[in-house]
Amino acid sequence: MDKLHQTLMRYFGYDSFKTGQEDIIQSVLNQKDTVAMLPTGGGKSICYQIPGYMTDGLVLIISPLLSLMEDQVERMKMRGEKRVAALNSTLSFQERRHIIRHLPSYKFLFVAPEALMSEMLLEQLKSMHIGLFVVDEAHCISEWGHDFRPEYSKLGEWREALGHPVALALTATATKQTLKDTVQTLRLQHPDFHIHSVNRPNIALVKEAHETKEAKEKRAIELVEYLQGPGLIYCPTRQMTEDMALIMKQKTHQRVEYYHGGMDAGDRMLIQQQFISGQLDLICCTSAFGMGIDKADIRFVIHMSPPQSIEAFMQEIGRAGRDGKKSVSILLYTEEDADIQQHLIQAEGFDEPEIDFFLARLTQMQTNDEKKLREQLMESGLQETRARMLIHYYRMYQSDEPRVLLMKLKEKLQDRQTEKLRKVWQFKERITDHGCFRQSLLSYFYEQLDQTESASSDSCCSSCGLDLSDYEKKDQPLELNEMKHWKTVLDRMFHLTKEAQH
């Protein structure tokens, strides 16, 4: 047995790697910057943990969500790893200071990109040897980067400040453009790419056109009654998640809750846990639900309208069928759906007078302090996310002369909007197309459907002919459900669930 497999066995108790893992680890061990795309549930965390054990230095993991970090830390601790911590705002000041002061005694450190703004942390990290710089869920770099979480676009700068440690970017869904963004933003040099298909043959793809919103709702109720659960319903707004959950509670016999970003953290955690442990059959949610949800047996995902991009859609349907069993994704849409998205995007853009106005505000201010700039703009009536985006580009071109600055700013904001609109349009195009839906989605990632590995036509997509009765609810006696629930609880207690770590 080679050293790689010995490490795998010693720390994780597995005797073989999943597809792709070994090559990715090898690449990192060879000191190559690496970009890896593995399907959801493909075992991404092993790809940085094993190199961590086999090399010197701290493994710094940039993670987008607090819950994700905490989840990972907990799992690693349950496995027996003590030298791991997540540094974030859930800790008290003392706890944070303690971790920063004792950084050399840690092997794995999880942080959000925003945390690297802290001088104290950055200085301490600079004085250490960083063995590996990991960016988890790397598609966030381009998806959330400039306008939503601008710190994502500074990761490259920070990596350089830390002495250019080897980088590993991990994701499940990325287009060529996203990969390019990742390479650029992280300032990777001649990286190794390990790209695996985004296709999930066990998820059948259905799309249905309806005339009205009411018709979609009616259909959703039918589906929830008919289909084998558990399931998810993705809604475009927070309001709608609550409405749908109410309707479903009244009209179906399912245990239902809603979930969105506006709820407090405790409720969100509770519902997520109840769903994972099998005490809920259905969750009506916005796009806030999903990342880091490790539930293997989700059987269906219904979309009440198309999300803003094909990537987002793939991420969301990818939450179904992680156990490899037959699952189904159903997209309900009306003709107008894409138009709404389009208007939303246009509404968040800046028109010329707005740019002039806010730019004047920015240049008037004698400070370069990000916080103060943001406060000022928000006082002038700008939303936080828009203010941050504007400041980001403003600082990028600040050293140029005013006219050039204005020109570049306008150009950037325009590009950003055009790009978003293009994504909506590209999705719309594929929804109205009558060819194989699966092939059509894969073509967005420049993939060809491989006939040998693909699903047979009766479980491919609605365009290829699909029999929904394959996904019909199997009546299970209640006791069996209860037993299954308790088995899950016990397994979790003793950490026996395979999918937990692998």
Partner DNA sequence: CGTATAATGTCTAGACATTATACGGTGCTCTAGT
> What's the count of helices (H) and strands (E) in the chain, helices before strands?
20, 13
List 222, 225, 267, 336, residue binding DNA (CB under 7 A): 336
**In 10 A of CB 321, how many CB atoms?**
25
Which of 329, 333, 296 is closest to 313 using CA atoms?
A: 329
Decide: 109 and 87 in contact? Cβ < 8 Å: yes
What's the rounded Cα separation, in Å, for the pair 308 and 313?
A: 8
425 binds DNA (CB under 7 A): no
Nearest approach in angstroms of CB 381 to DNA is: 8
If the CB atoms of residues 261 and 435 are measured against DNA, the closer one turns out to be 261
Going by C-alpha positions, the residue among 460, 392, 11, 22 that lies closest to residue 203 is 460
Minimum distance from CB of 130 to DNA (Å)? 18
> Which residue in the set 49, 178, 286, 439 belongs to the binding site for DNA (CB under 7 A)?
286
> How far is the C-alpha of 277 from the C-alpha of 487, rounded, in Å?
10
Q: Which is nearer to DNA, 249 or 374 (CB)?
A: 374
Q: Is 94 in the site for DNA (CB under 7 A)?
A: yes
Query: Could you give the CA distance from residue 451 to residue 440 in angstroms, rounded to a whole number?
Result: 14
Query: Is 148 near DNA (CB under 7 A)?
Result: yes
Could you tell me the smallest distance in angstroms from the CB atom of residue 342 to DNA? 8
Residues 62-91 that bind DNA (CB under 7 A): 64-67, 87-90
Among 163, 262, 324, 435, which residue interacts with DNA (rule: CB under 7 A)? 262
User: At closest approach, how far in Å is the CB of 305 from DNA?
Assistant: 11
Q: Taking the alpha carbons of 173, 177, 183, 189 in that order, is the dihedral positive or negative?
A: positive
Minimum CB–partner distance for residue 185 and DNA (Å): 17
Instruction: Tell me which stretch binds DNA (CB under 7 A): 100-108, 337-345, 408-416, 464-472.
Output: 337-345
**CA separation (Å) from 434 to 202, 431, 464?**
21, 8, 10
Interface mask toward DNA for 101-120; x: CB under 7 A: ----------xx-xx-xx--
Decide if residue 418 touches DNA (CB under 7 A).
no
Q: How far apart are CA 424 and CA 437, in angstroms?
A: 16
If binding is defined by CB under 7 A, does position 351 make contact with DNA? Answer: no
User: Of 262 and 324, which has the nearer Cβ to DNA?
Assistant: 262
Single-letter amino acid code for the residue at 34: T
Please tell me what DSSP assigns to residue 471: G
Binding residues for DNA, total number by CB under 7 A:
46
Query: Which residues partner with 204 through β-bridges?
Result: 328
Question: Should residue 301 be labelled a site residue for DNA when binding is judged by CB under 7 A?
Answer: no
Q: Does 238 bind DNA (CB under 7 A)?
A: yes
CB of 417 to DNA, least distance (A): 11
CB of 115 to DNA, least distance (A): 4
Q: Does 147 bind DNA (CB under 7 A)?
A: yes
Are the beta carbons of 177 and 145 closer than 8 angstroms?
no
Looking at the DSSP bridge assignments, the partners of residue 207 are 331
Choose the binding region for DNA from 29-37, 169-177, 215-223, 335-343 (rule: CB under 7 A).
335-343
Q: How many CA atoms lie within 13 A of 83 on its CB side?
A: 14
From 153-161, 174-182, 194-202, 232-240, span contacting DNA (CB under 7 A): 232-240
CB closer to DNA out of 379 and 491: 379
Applying CB under 7 A, among 26, 124, 287, 417 the residue interacting with DNA is: 287
DSSP, collapsed to helix, strand or coil, labels residue 376 as helix
Q: What's the token pair of residue 294? A: 């490790």
Q: Name, in order, each residue with C-beta under 8 angstroms of 423's C-beta and a sequence gap of 6 or more.
A: 308, 309, 310, 311
**Beta-sheet strand order (sheet of 130-135):** 84-87, 108-111, 58-62, 130-135, 167-171, 34-37, 192-195
Q: Residue 334 CB, nearest distance to DNA (Å)?
A: 9
Closer CB to DNA, residue 112 or residue 167?
112
> Of the two residues 54 and 378, which places its CB atom closer to DNA in the complex?
378
Closest approach of DNA to the CB of residue 329, in Å: 19
Query: Is residue 340 within the footprint of DNA (CB under 7 A)?
Result: yes
Question: Omega of the bond prior to 230 within 30 degrees of 0, cis?
Answer: yes
The correct pick among 260, 322, 428, 430 for binding DNA (CB under 7 A) is: 260
- Span 361-400, contacts to DNA by CB under 7 A: 384-385, 388
Euclidean distance between the first and the last CA atom of the chain, given in angstroms as a whole number: 20
Tell whether residue 239 is a contact of DNA (CB under 7 A): yes
Query: Which residue, 22 or 316, is less far from DNA as judged by CB?
Result: 316
Segment interacting with DNA, rule: CB under 7 A, options 161-169, 294-302, 344-352, 390-398: 344-352
Smallest gap from residue 220 Cβ to DNA (A): 15
| Binding of DNA by 163 (CB under 7 A) | no
**What is the 3 state secondary structure string of 212-279?**
CHHHHHHHHHHHHHHECCCEEEECCCHHHHHHHHHHHHHHCCCCEEEECCCCCHHHHHHHHHHHHCCC
Name the nearest CA neighbour of 309 among 466, 162, 174, 471. 174
State yes or no: residue 347 binds DNA (CB under 7 A): yes
Residues that bind DNA (CB under 7 A): 64-67, 87-90, 92-94, 111-112, 114-115, 117-118, 143-144, 147-149, 213, 236-240, 243, 260-262, 286-288, 308, 336, 339-340, 343-344, 347-348, 384-385, 388
